């Protein structure tokens, strides 16, 4: 571990997918991990498996975020992983409520948690904020305007925070994955339609896994404290761009 690890790492959206994988990996790296999410039963199972501390968290609730901060007086790393995508409708037919929901979780939720834990991160003397973005936060695609808008917002949050924290002992990293096959992301996007969810990865030999992204998080947060990885874009070999994916039967 090049940079060494110590202290408390808070991971939001830790009940499944990338969040759960990141919590597991950071425990293995030597962090005291606080795994935060809405579904307490899943958090408790993760806690029993890894030793991570489970904290119930809804990033859309100011009271819930304040309760998290009260339970985590010390923190070195914050991984703003809580996020979601809803729908694939074109702009002309998009549901504004879905857009609001995506923005509330992906952007405002990350803002709330960052604001709440930032004093502790600064006090640590070697804080690190990780924002889980997406290639959709860099390149748009048909049917993805609402999600892309939210992830562009998350990218702007990370970039602006880095400017505003210049001179403070807190690094800011955005990790922007491409196609990651997890159990729930596409199912949530398509409101539980398993057939539509499966088509997202149809013919793609090896999409990224949650463990791949957890590996990226671990690498970024274990660099020496003076090394800030601003942006890490990671895609499967089969995905050259949002619109260019090698699909084989």
| Contact between 34 and 53 (Cβ < 8 Å) | yes
What was the pLDDT predicted at 36? 98
How is residue 104 annotated by DSSP? I
Among 65-79, 84-98, 174-188, 214-228, the range scoring the smallest mean pLDDT is 174-188
> For 8-245, which CATH superfamily applies?
NAD(P)-binding Rossmann-like Domain (3.40.50.720)
What was the pLDDT predicted at 242? 85
Tell me the average pLDDT across 139-164: 97
SS3 167: coil
Residue with tokens 């999600």: 147
Tell me the average pLDDT across 8-32: 98
Q: What is the pLDDT of residues 65-124, one digit of tens each?
A: 999 999 999 999 999 999 999 999 999 999 999 999 999 999 999 999 999 999 999 999
CA separation for the pair 176, 106 (Å, rounded): 13
What was the pLDDT predicted at 5? 55
Q: What is the pLDDT of residues 131-141, one digit of tens each?
A: 999 999 999 99
CA separation for the pair 104, 35 (Å, rounded): 20
What is the per-residue DSSP string for 29-91? Answer: TT-EEEEEES-HHHHHHHHHHH-PEEEE--TT-HHHHHHHHHH-S--SEEEE----------G
| pLDDT at 1 > cutoff 60 | no
What was the pLDDT predicted at 185? 74
What is the per-residue DSSP string for 161-217? Answer: HHHHTTTSSEEEEEEEE--B--SSHHHHHTTT-HHHHHHHTTT-S--B-HHHHHHHH
Task: Please list the active-site residues.
Answer: 147
Crossing angle for the helix pair 145-164 and 110-123, to the nearest 10 degrees: 20
What does the mean pLDDT of the chain come to? 94
| Cβ-based neighbours of 195, under 8 Å, separated by 6 or more | none
Pair of tokens at residue 195: 């057939």
Cα dist. 225→50, 113, 132 in Å?
26, 22, 20
The structural domains of the chain, with segments of one domain joined by +, span 8-245
| Contact between 207 and 236 (Cβ < 8 Å) | yes
């Amino acid at each position: 571990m090049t940079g060494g690890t110590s202290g408390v790492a808070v991971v939001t959206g830790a009940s499944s997918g990338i969040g759960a994988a990141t919590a597991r990996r950071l425990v293995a790296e030597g962090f005291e991990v606080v795994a935060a999410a809405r579904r307490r039963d899943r958090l408790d199972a993760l806690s029993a498996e890894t030793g991570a501390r489970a904290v119930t968290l809804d990033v859309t609730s100011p009271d819930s975020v304040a309760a998290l901060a009260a339970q985590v007086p010390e923190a070195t790393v914050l991984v703003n992983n809580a996020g979601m995508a809803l729908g694939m409708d074109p702009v002309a037919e998009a549901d504004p409520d879905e857009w609001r929901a995506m923005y509330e979780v992906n952007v405002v939720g990350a803002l709330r948690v960052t604001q709440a834990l930032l004093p502790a991160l600064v006090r640590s003397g070697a804080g690190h904020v990780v924002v889980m973005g997406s290639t959709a936060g860099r390149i748009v695609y048909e049917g993805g305007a609402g999600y892309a808008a939210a992830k562009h917002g998350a990218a702007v949050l990370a970039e602006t925070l880095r400017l505003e924290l210049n001179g403070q002992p807190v690094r800011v990293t955005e990790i922007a994955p491409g196609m990651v096959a997890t159990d729930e992301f596409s199912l949530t996007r398509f409101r539980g339609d398993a057939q539509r969810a499966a088509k997202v990865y149809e013919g793609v030999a090896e999409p990224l896994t949650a463990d791949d992204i957890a590996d990226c998080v671990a690498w970024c947060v274990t660099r020496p404290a003076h090394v800030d990885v601003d942006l890490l874009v990671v895609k499967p070999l089969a995905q050259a761009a949002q619109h260019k994916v090698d699909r084989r039967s």
